[in-house]
Amino acid sequence: MESSKQSLSLQNRGESSSTHLASKGKQIVQGHGEVFTHFVSFPLAIYPELKKNLEAFRNSILGDNDKNALMFKEVGIDKSIFVSPNTLHLTVVMLKLENKESVDAALNILKSIASNVKHALDNRPVFIRLKGLKSMNDSLDKTRVLYAPVEEVGNEGRLLSACHVIIDAFANAGFAGKDAKSRLKLHATVMNASYRKGGKNTFDAREIHKEFGNKDWGNYLIKEAHISKRSWYDSDGYFHCCGTLPFPHK
């Protein structure tokens, strides 16, 4: 996160008949050539108003006329690089869970740190604010990922502390890279050029930033953390959930 800004319980969710595999974008590789299979996420797709906000953002850029669509295609923008509203999330840490045993072990880790996460949050709800747009590589004319920055409402640093508890636990177990904590950058991706199959791996986001650079996406309660499975989706369109750790709501 850029600024430092109820009882917890673990729910285990197995593979369901509604779970399906889909492919979008490239495999995520970090560290020493590791391919990550899962990740800890904070779901944001649970908020209909945020999903509608993202849909309106996409429609205002692409429009519904061929001329507008062609103009943006010339700078590397088409509908394929927009994030699906059903998958909106914040990533806490990438995980390498290669079999059922490692998934079960990860679920046990999540359960074991429940009280520490609760303590880090001071057993109080934590809200985030999404405002503006930034390029992940700080070059708007050659953007790979465009995202909404995250701020913790109140800037107490409680969410960051909770993230560190989670990351440390999985890194110590060997499921996350040792440098995972230094990689932490909570953000909500709205456009990603890697989703495009073939063609340019960047796009020109300068005009988008002029229009939406100060956009207020709203404030949202972080309700829970998921162990999410990459490239697998449940019936609601969100990443398949292997298990959850609820956060304080009151």
Which of 187, 206, 186, 203 has the alpha carbon at shortest distance from 195?
A: 203
pLDDT by residue for the chain (250 residues), tens only, comes to 333 333 233 444 444 434 555 544 344 444 445 689 999 999 999 999 999 999 999 988 887 655 555 566 667 788 899 999 999 999 999 999 999 999 999 999 999 999 999 999 999 999 999 999 999 988 999 999 999 999 999 999 999 999 999 999 999 999 998 889 999 999 999 999 999 887 788 999 998 999 999 999 999 999 999 999 999 999 999 999 999 999 998 8
Domains of the chain, by residue range, sit at 38-246
Identify any residues that bridge with 243 across adjacent strands, giving them in sequence order: 12, 227
Which of 2.70.98.60, 3.50.50.60, 3.90.1140.10, 2.60.40.10 would CATH assign to domain 38-246?
Answer: 3.90.1140.10
Q: What's the pTM?
A: 0.85
In whole angstroms, how far apart are CA 104 and each of 12, 33, 74, 171? 9, 24, 47, 16
Residues 6 or more apart from 75 whose CB is under 8 A from it? 203, 204, 207
Residue 215 is encoded by which pair of tokens?
């956009």
CB neighbourhood size of 96 (10 A): 19
CA distance 227 to 245: 9
176 near 183, Cβ under 8 Å?
A: no
Q: What is the DSSP letter of 247?
A: P
